Amino acid sequence: MAADVARPAKLGLCVACHGDTGISRIPGTPHIAGQDEIYLRKALTEYRDGRRHGGPMNAAAGGLSAADIDALAAWYAAQRWPAAAEGTP
């Protein structure tokens, strides 16, 4: 659960689009609360390394270390995703 995972030092890079808890408020931006942790690490690494292209994601991930990526993936994977009825418009 979220309470067991340390708040990542680089979380500020993410929150404008994905929120503190991974629930996007911007249409077209994925929700990442409770997302598979391995998938999140893979996505961030691919964005950082230019193997996946996602507009602001490449800039946001560009300076992340492997430890930063681990911390961010663990954080968002540990968040709770509200059921669709409550969580998405």
Which residues are at the interface with its own copies (CB under 8 A)? 1, 24, 27-31, 33-36, 38-39, 42, 51-53, 77-85, 87-88
Residue 17 beta carbon to its own copies: minimum distance, rounded to whole angstroms: 11
Residue 65 beta carbon to its own copies: minimum distance, rounded to whole angstroms: 21
Q: Is 25 exposed, middle or buried (0-12, 13-18, 19+ CB in 10 A)?
A: exposed
Residue 84 beta carbon to its own copies: minimum distance, rounded to whole angstroms: 4
